[in-house]
Structure 1
């Protein structure tokens, strides 16, 4: 019988092992050139055909969950982008900006949040050369169809930068176990189909520089968004992960449900730069545009004396999700995601804050989230 809800008790390590210890067979993927550490390796010049898209879908969904394209981005194109990203990082440091991170201590590494639009505005010609990339279009169309939305975060792991704890990615991967448990099982199945994760190597990444650690096939474990929080699964990941060196211009793409985490940079002089691509389905939007700030400002005085369920009213009116946001200003300093409008409203009602104070807090939150604010 198919589960309707997952619990921590559903996470059994022996079941996880049975999934993850499958072998990736090259014969099932005729356009791949190799299998390394159970990861499929593809050339970076494949044509964009329905046949190849289908093969990549199977690789990400039913196979190892990760593919690497060698030479996907031309080195000179990468170097132009690297120059832009390096300048942005230098400017952040000069301004005293100490960036937060989802899975690392703030300031440990160098981040450029919202790198996509910053890149386009800083050097439109370099942006066009970089994103005019057939491999990127191929894998995005395969996993998400048309109308996808690209976002980018540049991550530089400096010498001595520590490995991340194994995790899954956005959406449910950016939640605590308690939060993830509130979503029914079919949403756990849906979440990986909403985004595609990618990383473009901007420098050569031998293993000592700490390229990303992966656990092939782990995306197929149904309660994995609960399991990755549990120590026995973390220990298994640490003992069984694979780590592939990448050359500048190589690109890895993976199912967001794959267990993974950045590795420790044990080099003495390599600043490991990757452009982390998160591509989202165009379907992740409501049908109507709604002015939720105006709604909750009008509702707040009513909720201070409301005798029914305040939570029900907040759920129907306030923005209950932290993303998208301007991560330069609205950073995940105290957790995996910034506070939501709904959580702000809930706390304000509980503390009986004056309406004018709540409206000022709403305005400040909107300012932090607005991409037009530097």
Structure 2
């Protein structure tokens, strides 16, 4: 006996629905929309750099920025975290199972996701469970600060804040070691450094650090992103292709270890979760409307001595103002660099300049700063002033970085320096840049 028509229609409908679901599943698996987008992008040549023009067509979108930063961090996304506070995942290091490789791998997956695709920042409670190394470090830092203050006028520059009565130690990593090798050894034996650094940068990373002690009334920083492109001027930043704006944040890990308790009124770092996801962020953070939104929307978490915070360098952030009357907050600022941020071979500029400077000068005198002369200067000299010694070569007022080898060469050409003058300048620069 044939099936009733209604049943036949139902079976047909179910089969059709299954076919559609299978087709949609295939599209999802193959990521067809993304493939179409890539094909469209492949057929359209866009500008490779962001524009410095602030007209309606080129100006970074504050509305898009707000949409990104108003996301919510779900505890379910990061099950190994203890809690999520103000959109920031917080982990308790006393619960870490460092002897369980599979568990550590899951943890590193979470930390990586947070920095790259999530809120961009996480807190590690009890990063140091033994405060002995921190106490010893603080004693060493105090000796260094007093000695350096006596040797100079006491002021230390800051990339994103005016000079103040705050205390800063550039290259505290090296100075701590030379001041107290035993305590330095205990401090940097903490295996959690390796865990967090490799989670984001992989192996063969390089640690550097700077101490910042913000005293009562200490000035806050302005909203910013960090090294590399965060230290460039707007004009210099715009010269870097868009892909390098993304690459910049993948080459560095930022962090800080609390060397004192940090109640909110002492001004711990102001953070804007998810802001590292904004592609034009290195162009946008200086714009007044973005800074205003940051000041309206940032979050700040109190930390205890021994806690640590790590974040993507592209996260919009700023050290806060210490509004207490009698409390100085102290942090060891951690900056970790990827192994891939280095050239394959070492080039010594001085002998190259000694050999060819007269030819460079002759070409400049004949052509001025032609495209050929500019290319030559870029070939024989280092255009990037880092790494350097920020005690001897601090960030210049109104700028983010000291002079580079190429800057000296261009100045030498315009001022008609002879070979001896330029070589002397370069050697002095190298000496001042040494540790």
Cα deviation, residue 92, structure 1 = 0.9
Question: CA offset at residue 359 of structure 1?
Answer: 2.1
Once the two structures are TM-superposed, the CA of residue 361 in structure 1 deviates from its matched residue by: 1.5
- CA shift at 1:3, angstroms? 6.4
Offset at residue 107 of structure 1 (A): 4.4
- Map of 1:7 onto structure 2: 51
Match of 2:132 in 1: 76
Which of 360, 366, 370 in structure 1 is aligned with 2:424? 360
| CA distance, structure 1, for counterparts of residue 111 and residue 144 of structure 2 | 34
The structural deviation recorded for 1:52 is 1.1
Q: Tell me the residue number matched to 1:121.
A: 178
User: What does the per-residue CA deviation read over 1:82-130, in whole Å, with 9 as the maximum and x for residues that have no partner?
Assistant: 1111111011112224322211223442111111111112111111111
The reply to whether residue 328 of structure 1 matches residue 377 of structure 2 is no
Q: Structure 2: 5+ residue runs without aligned partners?
A: 1-40, 53-57, 99-103
Q: Are 1:277 and 2:334 matched, yes or no? A: yes
What's the CA shift string for 1:152-176, capped at 9, x where partnerless? 1001111111111100000000011
User: Mean alpha-carbon deviation: is it higher for 350-359 or for 50-59?
Assistant: 350-359
List runs of 5+ in structure 1 lacking aligned partners: none
CA contact (8 A) 1:101 1:333 kept: no
Task: Specify which of 71, 76, 89 is matched with residue 27 of structure 1.
Answer: 76
**2:265–2:323 contact (8 Å) kept in structure 1:** yes
SS of structure 1 residue aligned to 2:362:
coil
Q: Is the CA contact (8 Å cut-off) linking 2:164 and 2:219 kept in structure 1? A: no
Three-state SS of the structure 1 residue aligned to 2:309 is: strand
Task: Quote the Cα distance in structure 2 between the aligned partners of 1:234 and 1:107.
Answer: 22
Cα contact 2:162–2:219 (8 A) shared by 1: no
Distance in 2 between residues matched to 1:347 and 1:44, nearest whole Å: 52
Matched, 1:55 2:119: no
What CA distance in whole angstroms lies between the structure 1 residues aligned with 2:145 and 2:318?
A: 22
Is 1:40 aligned with 2:84?
no
Q: 1:50: Cα distance to partner?
A: 1.5
Question: Does structure 1 residue 158 correspond to structure 2 residue 158?
Answer: no
Larger Rg: 2
TM-align CA RMSD: 1.4
Could you tell me which of 54, 59, 65 is aligned with 2:120?
Answer: 65
Distance in 2 separating the partners of 1:250 and 1:357: 50
What is the CA–CA distance in structure 2 between the aligned matches of 1:370 and 1:140, rounded to whole Å?
25
Indicate the residue corresponding to 2:297 in structure 1: 240
1:358, distance to aligned residue in structure 2 (A): 1.9
Q: Give me the TM-score of the superposition, normalised by structure 1.
A: 0.96
Cα 1:160–1:123 change in 2 (3 A) is same
Residues 98-107 or 76-85, more deviating: 98-107
Aligned length: 371
In terms of fraction of residues, the more helix-rich structure is 2
